[in-house]
Structures are given as C-alpha cells and as structure tokens.
Amino acid sequence: MKAAVLHAPRKLIFEERPEPAISSGDEVLIEIKNVGICHSDVHYYVHGRIGDFIVKEPIILGHECSGVVIEKGKDVSNVDIGDKVIIEPASPCRKCPNCKTGRYNICENLRFMGTPPTDGAFREYVVWPSDFVYKMPEDMNFEEAALIEPFSVALYSVKRAGLSPGSRVAILGAGTIGLMTLLATRECGASEIFITDIVDYKLKLAEKFGATAAINSKKEDPVKSIKYLTDGRGVDVVFEAVGIDTTFNQALKLVKVGGKVVVIGLGFKELSTVPVIDIPTKELDIIGILRYANVFPEAIRLAAHRKLPLTKLITRRLDLPELVKGMEAIAEGKEDEVKVMIRVR
C-alpha cells in the first residue's frame, strides 16, 4: 500500500508498505478514503515534536479519517464489511485507573493515531479496534465524516465547561477548532458568542456560523471590546484555542469573576507571562482539554441531525501524493487556509 512516512522534520517520503493485517478478533481492516490535516500533524512535520511527544522513528501522521470496512475479525458485531465508517483514532488500554473511570483520553498507555510511536492514517489501509469505529449516517459523506474528529474536540470542550443554555462565551482563535467550538457552543445553547482572530477571512466565516461578534484582535483590543459588549461583566466561559501567552492573558482578563477558562490550544512554547493572580482573585476554574472522551457517537449524531456546515471549513482538497503541499500551505499560515482535506483513495 501507499503510505506517507515522516522521517525527520520536513522529510516526508511516500513509500510502499505491506498492507496491515488483522491480528485479533475485535479488529477491522479499513480502506481509508479521506483524512484532514490537523495542526498537530503540521507541528510534527515542521518541528518533529509536540511537547514530550517526539518523532524518534519514521511515522505515518494523520488521525482525522473515514473509510470503508473491507475485513473484520470474528468477534466484531458493530460494523460489517462494506460499511462506511468513521474512526475514533484512540486506542486506550481499558485497564488503567483513568480508563476505569471513563477518562480514556488520559489513559496511561494510550495509542493515538499519528502520535509517536503509533502510525496514523495517511496511508491506504488501517487496522483498528472495532469499538472505536462507527458507522457513518446515510446522508453523511467521507469529508464530513473525517471532520467528526475535530468536532469531537470542540464538543468535549463544551461539555467539560458545563455550558448552560443562555451563557455568554468567548472563543479566542478562529482556526478549525475555534470555529468547531463556535458550532458546538451554538448547538449547546450559548446566547452570545464572541470570537477573536487576526485573520478577517476566518472571522467572516465565524459570522456565517452565527458568531454574535467577530473581533480582529490586530485592529482592536478584544478584552475592551468584549467587556463593552457585556456591560463590563465579561463572559461566563472563555475557550482558548490558540495556546500562546497573548490569548491566555486575554482569557483571564475577559472572563467574568467566578467564570471558566477552557484551554484547548497547544502552542509551541511554555506560557511565561501569565497573570496567575487573576486565577485566585477572580476564583476562576481553569479546565484543560486533551482531545476527548465519550463524545464521538454524540458528535456524529449532532452533526448529522443538525446538518452542521462542517465542510465549509475545507479550503483546499488534495490527493495523497500532494500531502506535502497541504502541510506547507498550513505551515506558511496563509490567511485563507483553514482545513486541508486529503483524498487517499
């Protein structure tokens, strides 16, 4: 099979690899159709690492994926050969204390597609545990299905925040996750949604998705603007989807006293100038997000039932041999680039 293999930063080589084989009764073999490029893929492609996750051996990236079941183990009952499916790209141990309490996203022995040392989905075939593979709704296409993964991050973030209907929220960053979070907060009943970014193209897309106000933080102070729009009180919940000092500081300043800051963004550097005193003096809840747990089926149902415009985030469609072009387009930070979708087969 064809596979895109990262050997070192910016050294991505297309290779012929053996087709993977089912090794246990609960696995399925899937022909991959579509894979979205995530910013984490780009981090590995450019830097060879994200925090403590370091590319030490050649690895296949990619985890936002959909495909078709072409073979299944003897114990698989939830999907059949020929089913169009969405893959939840996590494979927890199911035995550690975190798994036992349902928090498998922080499993002590988690395998996650495209995260060292586990190969991902930029290849023609994948073998995966069947309990993390879901049938696609009939009216969903492979592109929409591949976008369920980032939407699950957003939905999990909203659930972790305990968002109540009528809440005021701010989303810092209008990339894929920020825009997905906008959709998730809207569906979960937020009454006012403020979103910030430095790219007008993304902010216009946010307005189309239902943002109350889309603020370019290069042109105006987002803290002052959102405070003004909320009568000086600030918002109930801030979703920080960038991961840098500037936006984290803004989050602490524009959230109301007693509010919540949900940290989704993973930046390249440690935060160094955070006004920590705001956390106790405003009695803030700081909530960290690592991917998601127990929301994938709900994300699928919600996206299908509400016909969420997930594919409107796709700004470029490429075939697998053009993967480097897609990685570089995101790495360059082109203003009109949001989600690049790769067609594998």
**Got the DSSP string for 66-83?**
EEEEEEE-TT--S--TT-
Q: What is the C-alpha separation between 9 and 13, in angstroms, rounded?
A: 11
Cβ contacts of residue 179 below 8 Å, gap of 6+?
202, 205, 206, 209, 313, 338
* Residue (of 125, 135, 48) closest to 84 by Cα position: 135
Distance separating alpha carbons of residues 113 and 121, to the nearest angstrom: 7
Q: For residues 97 and 179, state if they share a domain.
A: no
- Contact predicate 168/236, CB 8 Å: yes
Domain shared by 133 and 244, yes or no: no
Q: Which residues have a Cβ under 8 Å from the Cβ of 56 and sit 6 or more positions away?
A: 116, 117
Residues 73 and 164 in one domain: no
Specify whether 198 is located in the same domain as 264. Answer: yes
Instruction: Tell whether 81 is covered by a domain.
Output: yes
30 part of a folded domain: yes
Q: How far apart are CA 12 and CA 264, in angstroms?
A: 28
Query: Do 104 and 32 share a structural domain?
Result: yes
CATH number for 241: 3.40.50.720
Tell me if 298 is assigned to some domain.
no
Does 294 map to a domain? no
Residue 328's pLDDT is 96
3-class SS of residue 263: strand
Contact criterion met (CB below 8 Å) for 126 and 20: yes
Give pLDDT tens digits along the chain (345 positions): 999 999 999 999 999 999 999 999 999 999 999 999 999 999 999 999 988 899 999 999 999 999 999 999 999 999 999 999 999 999 999 999 999 999 999 999 999 999 999 999 999 999 999 999 999 999 999 999 999 999 999 999 999 999 999 999 999 999 999 999 999 999 999 999 999 999 999 999 999 999 999 999 999 999 999 999 999 999 999 999 998 889 999 999 999 999 999 999 876 566 667 778 889 999 999 999 999 999 999 999 999 999 999 999 999 999 999 999 999 999 998 888 999 999 998
In a domain, 302, yes or no: no
Asked if 172 and 140 sit in the same domain, the reply is no
Domain extent at residue 159: 154-288
C-alpha dist (Å) from residue 313 to 29, 62, 204, 333: 29, 18, 12, 15
- Residue 341 pairs with which residues in a beta bridge? 36, 317
Question: Is 197 within the bounds of a domain?
Answer: yes
Assigned domain for 303 exists:
no
219 and 324 co-located in one domain: no
Tell me the one-letter amino acid at 263.
Answer: V
Helices (H), 188-295: 200-208, 222-229, 245-254, 278-281
What's the rounded Cα separation, in Å, for the pair 337 and 341? Answer: 11
Question: pLDDT tens digits, residue range 161-214?
Answer: 999 999 999 999 999 999 999 999 999 999 999 999 999 999 999 999 999 999
Domain endpoint, select from 288, 318, 333: 288
Separation of alpha carbons 338 and 154, rounded Å = 16
Asked if residue 249 and residue 135 are part of one domain, the reply reads no
pLDDT at position 52 is: 85
What's the CATH number where 337 sits?
3.90.180.10
- Are 134 and 186 found together in one domain? no
Q: How many domains does the chain have?
A: 2
Same domain, 120 and 246: no
Residues 29 and 90 in one domain: yes
pLDDT of residue 267: 66
Which one-letter DSSP state was computed for residue 271?
A: -
In a domain, 297, yes or no: no
Dihedral of CA atoms 216, 219, 223, 228 in degrees, nearest 10, equals: -90
Name the residue among 119, 109, 57, 56 with its Cα closest to residue 87.
119
**pLDDT above 90: percentage of residues in the chain:** 92
Q: What are phi and psi of 123, to 5 degrees?
A: -160, 170
**CA 58 to centroid of chain Cα atoms:** 23
One domain for residues 129 and 164: no
- Secondary structure (3-state) at 276: coil
Query: What's phi and psi for 312, nearest 5 deg?
Result: -70, -15
